[in-house]
Structure 1
Amino acid sequence: MDFRLLTVSREFGSGGGRIAQSIAQRLNWKLLDAALIDEIACAAHVDARVVSRLDEHVDGWLRRLNRQALRGAALAAGVALQQERCFDEDVMTQLTRQIIDRAYVAGNCVIVGRGAQCILQPRADVFHVFVYAPLRVRIQRLRTRLEPGAHIEQRIREVDAGRAHYLKLRFGKEWHNPHLYDLMISSGEDEERTARVIEFAMGRVA
């Protein structure tokens, strides 16, 4: 199988983002990670910081209900809302799907997170990977990334729970479901070696 796309789902602190970047650079493929934020911001005409706050995040039902009520009232009154106030998780999910679908058509792309493994699940020529790592390794990595004094284990639980909740609510799928992935792999303490194994599994190593 000649794979045209790779999706990388990852535990927080597993190094999945850097592994995806390494693979994209070696294959000379486009990387959609932080760049996806910029593309959504451009499409929605909002500041990238607004998009970043909603990235792989599901808002509470009360806030969503209030936003829907605000939109309805504005439409009834003929008042135009600011773009940032109209932009929410629902709009972001729609734009994310459109951008990921376009990336599939273009091919030669590595997509990190954002439910891409669900959006592109019907496509036989997309390779899906889930990257995880032992907790001690994740803590060690995050010590160099997070602000001093951060509660690392708590942050790991929160971010992972948020990603799992996002996938469940938006796509009705369990984040750790092995049937979503072609390969579930521990990055251990060697991210570069993990990247090479993924490339080998894709048939991309000469």
Structure 2
Amino acid sequence: MPEARDIILIGGSAGSYSLIINILESIPFNISSAIVVVIHRNDKYPTQIEKSLSLKLKRAILPAEDKVIIENNNIYFAPPGYHLLVEPNHTFSLDISDPVNFSRPSIDVLFESAAEVYTDRCTAFLLSGANNDGAYGIKRVEHFGGTTIIQDPLDALIDTMPSSAITTSSKAKVLKNKQIINYFCSIK
């Protein structure tokens, strides 16, 4: 697969998992972007999200690994216990520095680093969650010319994250769950 020129980020926490599944189910099988998902997971409790989603969706869902080139048509998940960063050479970097907004992986960390590298070729979605993680990252994506989309707080199971991002954003589209899924159905 060729190196991804475009990146789509999805950040979510409490209450976002069902929507993330619906999003992933709607993605066409051949896309010219990489998709990177960060959800708040506790590294003390092992999960098999990537493996179970790969089986369910019949496509590779990969854990992001240190120094791996970000490729088109791949869906990556940030591993629990690590911040996930995007490096200037379009590879991932894993970091164990302090939690940000009580979270590691942090949505802000991924959004900020990806925005600096992919600039206007970065699209970030922020979904349901119970803290402010992602609000600053949304602002940074906008600063570097990327596109930002926030789940409508009325559709979020927990509206803290989307509501917080709406107050910091100057350009984000606020979409209902169905509109978000429709967006992913139409990506190429």
Question: Normalised by the shorter chain, which TM-score bucket?
Answer: 0.3 to 0.5
Q: Which has the higher contact order (CA 8 A, sep 6+)?
A: 1
Identify, as 1 or 2, the structure richer in strand: 2
How does the TM-score come out when normalised to structure 2?
0.39
Identify, as 1 or 2, the structure richer in helix: 1
How does the TM-score come out when normalised to structure 1?
0.36
